């Protein structure tokens, strides 16, 4: 055993120093740290390269699409509405650090008249089935592997002392159990410091790699760091608690590894499967069929006797004081189209809202599952802070639909005002109109809104830390 450990009335600092020395002098320590650093570097570098490449490609295509938009010739506005445009999902500020849901969510959406297309090309559809075993990212290393490092380095802290009888000796010589535990915890944290610094470095690298618009997202990085640190602290307390209770280091390690595998590997998947089963989502076909059915029942613009469009006609004629649509100073066809667009957009918004509500219920269930598996808490917080969570995806899709609606209605307005009713389709509108259309812009939810509804995750992590800490403080270590 360690000959330099203090014997009598030792201070927290002395115990911490002794524990730190004990850990860092183990042969395995250097290997573990090197392995941890390499893995983190691998995740950060490859993830960063991939992210940068995809962001650059997306920027190029965004520019190309804009150029194609502006170089349109004279066209009929409705032709332009079907030509449409694309919405590109903005890259999350910390996507390099924590890709969140990015690999499973479409990044590009085709926007056109009458139709709400879904987001296309999620990475997950372009991968082998082995991808379902996991995806490496700096966040994964900090959320899943750092706790394992804590377990491996910390499981012996108190168990060794108890096994060798030295704990009893220390306590009988005037060291209070609290001091012993605090010293051990401090020593362990000290030994973990290099891993923590590496994690911070990965976060800083992620923040520096953020899309340039708003500058490095330091506050977001701080939130992600705080969540990861809190989660690591939970595992420090758990490791020491179980180390104190297990009786032997081997038993402590076995228990802790089992706990880690259950909490970090099995429970998140099980929780996901449970959430999916608890709040089943409609399938794409069901969603589309229900939407089409409802839109159809709203009214039929082609049917002169349809009540909705008959009313529109009467109202429009009355407003302009004419008897026939042909006599209107504006293009009635465009007015009908705009009304139809309004009706379908309303219906779609309602159905999409219901779908999102279900997804959010699933997500909130996952957040509540953080009380069982704290890693779910840190995952949720980290993805929210990184701008790569479900909300960022949903807001992108909502913003894309809002943009689509405005864009189509604006074209319908041009159609109404500049295209005559007679020989409607044979006319074209001058190309200089296209330049006035604004580009699609979606914002990543600002940090405040992103963290909305995550109080439970902080609470779950805090309570885990509290419970493990209290358990640790009340272990059977008595003088």
Partner 1 sequence: MNAFLALLRWELRRLLRTGTARAALAFLFCAGLAALAATDRELARQAREIAALPDQYEAQVARIAKQFPAGEHAGYVAYYSFLPTWQPAAPLAAFSLGLRDVVPGALWIRLLGLEGQLHESGLGNPAVQALGTFDLAFVVCALAPLVLLVLSHDVLSRDREQGVLPLVVAQAGGLGPLFAARLAVRAAAVAAVCTALFAVGLAWPGILPGPAEFGWLADMLLHLAVWTAAAAAIAALCRSVAASLAAAGTAWVAAAVVLPAALNLAVVAAYPVPEGLELTVRQRQEIHAGWDRPKEETFARFFRTYPEWRDTAPVAGRFAWKWYYAMHQAGDDSVADASARYRANLRARAAATARLAWLAPPVATQLLLSRRAGTDLEAHLAYLDRVRAFHGTMKAHFHPPVFAETVLPVASWRDFPRFVPAAPPAAAGTFAERLPLLIPLGLGLAVAVRALRRPFRPLL
Binding positions for partner 1, 41-70, rule CB under 8 A: 42-43, 46-47, 49-50, 53-54, 57-58, 61, 64-65, 68
Q: What is the distance between the alpha carbons of residues 103 and 142, in angstroms, rounded to a whole number?
A: 19
Contacts of 335 (CB under 8 A, 6+ apart): 312, 316, 412, 416
Distance CA 113, CA 342 (A): 11
Q: Report yes or no: 438 and 101 within 8 Å, Cβ to Cβ.
A: no
Enumerate residues 6+ apart whose C-beta is below 8 A from 364: 453
Is 349 a binding residue for partner 1 by CB under 8 A? The answer is no
The binder of partner 1 chosen from 13, 14, 29, 82 (CB under 8 A): 82
Q: Which residue has the tokens 């379902």?
A: 132
Cβ proximity to partner 1, 188 vs 295, nearer residue: 295
Least distance between partner 1 and beta carbon 11 (Å): 30
- Contacting partner 1 within 196-255 (CB under 8 A): 249-250, 253-254
* Nearest to partner 1 of 79, 473 (CB atom): 79
Q: Which of residues 367-386 bind partner 1 (CB under 8 A)?
A: 383
Q: Where in 110-169 is the site for partner 1 (CB under 8 A)?
A: 110, 117-137, 140, 144-145, 148, 152
Which range in 263-271, 321-329, 398-406, 445-453 contacts partner 1 by CB under 8 A? 263-271
Q: CB 185 → partner 1: shortest distance, Å?
A: 22
Residue numbers 21-40 binding partner 1 by CB under 8 A: 28, 39
Query: With binding defined as CB under 8 A, does residue 312 bind partner 1?
Result: no
Number of amino acids touching partner 1 (CB under 8 A): 104
Which of 161, 163, 389, 401 binds partner 1 (CB under 8 A)? It is 389
Minimum distance between the CB of residue 10 and partner 1, rounded to whole angstroms?
26
Q: How far is CA 113 from CA 89, 152, 199, 426, 441, in A?
A: 20, 58, 47, 19, 19
Q: Looking at beta carbons, which pairs linking 37-41 to residues 24 or more positions away fall under 8 Å?
A: 37/194, 37/198, 39/136, 39/141, 39/145, 40/138, 40/141, 40/142, 40/198, 40/199, 40/202
The interaxial angle of helices 332-368 and 455-473, nearest 10 deg, is 0
* 269-298 positions binding partner 1, by CB under 8 A: 269-277, 280-289, 292-293, 296
CA distance 186 to 287: 55
Bridge partner list, 88: 108
- How many angstroms separate the CA atoms of 45 and 59, rounded? 21
| Minimum distance, C-beta of residue 182 to partner 1, in the bound complex (Å) | 26
* Least distance from partner 1 to the Cβ atom of residue 287, Å: 6
Residues within window 393-452 making contact with partner 1, judged by CB under 8 A: 393, 425-426
Q: To the nearest whole angstrom, how small is the minimum distance from the Cβ of residue 358 to partner 1?
A: 8
Q: Does 176 bind partner 1 (CB under 8 A)?
A: no
Is 259 one of the binding residues for partner 1 (CB under 8 A)? no
- Three-state SS at 77: helix
């Amino acid at each position: 055993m360690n000959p330099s450990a203090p014997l009598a009335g030792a201070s927290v600092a002395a115990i911490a120093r002794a524990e730190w020395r004990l850990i860092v002098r183990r042969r395995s320590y250097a290997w573990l740290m090197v392995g941890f650093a390499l893995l983190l570097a691998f995740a950060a570098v490859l993830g960063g390269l991939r992210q940068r490449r995809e962001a650059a490609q997306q920027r190029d295509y965004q520019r190309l699409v804009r150029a194609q938009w502006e170089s349109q010739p004279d066209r009929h506005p409705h032709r332009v509405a079907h030509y449409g445009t694309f919405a590109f999902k903005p890259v999350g500020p910390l996507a390099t650090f924590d890709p969140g849901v990015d690999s499973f969510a479409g990044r590009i959406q085709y926007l056109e008249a009458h139709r709400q297309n879904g987001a296309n090309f999620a990475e997950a559809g372009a991968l082998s089935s082995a991808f379902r075993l996991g995806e490496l990212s700096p966040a994964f290393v900090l959320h899943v592997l750092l706790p394992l490092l804590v377990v491996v380095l910390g499981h012996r802290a108190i168990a060794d002392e108890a096994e060798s009888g030295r704990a009893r000796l220390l306590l009988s010589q005037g060291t209070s159990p609290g001091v012993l535990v605090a010293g051990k915890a401090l020593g362990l944290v000290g030994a973990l410091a290099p891993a923590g610094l590496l994690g911070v470095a990965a976060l800083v690298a992620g923040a520096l790699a953020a899309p340039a618009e708003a500058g490095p997202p330091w506050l977001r990085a701080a939130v992600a760091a705080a969540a990861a640190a809190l989660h690591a602290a939970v595992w420090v307390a758990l490791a020491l608690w179980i180390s104190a209770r297990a009786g032997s280091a081997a038993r402590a390690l076995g228990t802790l590894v089992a706990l880690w595998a259950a909490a970090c590997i099995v429970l998140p998947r099980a929780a996901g499967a449970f959430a999916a089963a608890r709040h089943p989502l409609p399938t794409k076909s069901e969603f589309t069929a229900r939407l089409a059915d409802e839109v159809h029942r709203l009214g039929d613009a082609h049917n002169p006797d349809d009540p909705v469009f008959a009313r529109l006609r009467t109202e429009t004629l009355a407003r302009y004081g004419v008897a026939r649509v042909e006599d209107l100073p504006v293009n009635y066809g465009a007015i009908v189209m705009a009304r139809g667009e309004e009706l379908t957009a309303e219906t779609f918004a309602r159905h999409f809202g219901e779908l999102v509500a279900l997804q959010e219920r699933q997500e909130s269930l996952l957040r509540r599952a953080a009380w069982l598996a704290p890693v779910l808490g840190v995952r949720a917080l980290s993805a929210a802070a990184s701008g790569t969570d479900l909300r960022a995806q949903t807001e992108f899709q909502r913003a894309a639909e809002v943009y689509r609606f405005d864009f189509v209605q604006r074209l319908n307005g041009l159609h109404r005002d500049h295209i005559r009713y007679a020989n409607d389709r044979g006319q074209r509108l001058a190309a200089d109109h296209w330049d006035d259309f604004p580009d699609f812009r979606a914002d990543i939810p600002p940090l405040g809104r992103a963290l909305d509804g995550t109080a439970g995750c902080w609470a779950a992590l805090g309570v885990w830390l509290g419970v493990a800490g209290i358990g640790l403080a009340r272990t059977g270590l008595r003088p």
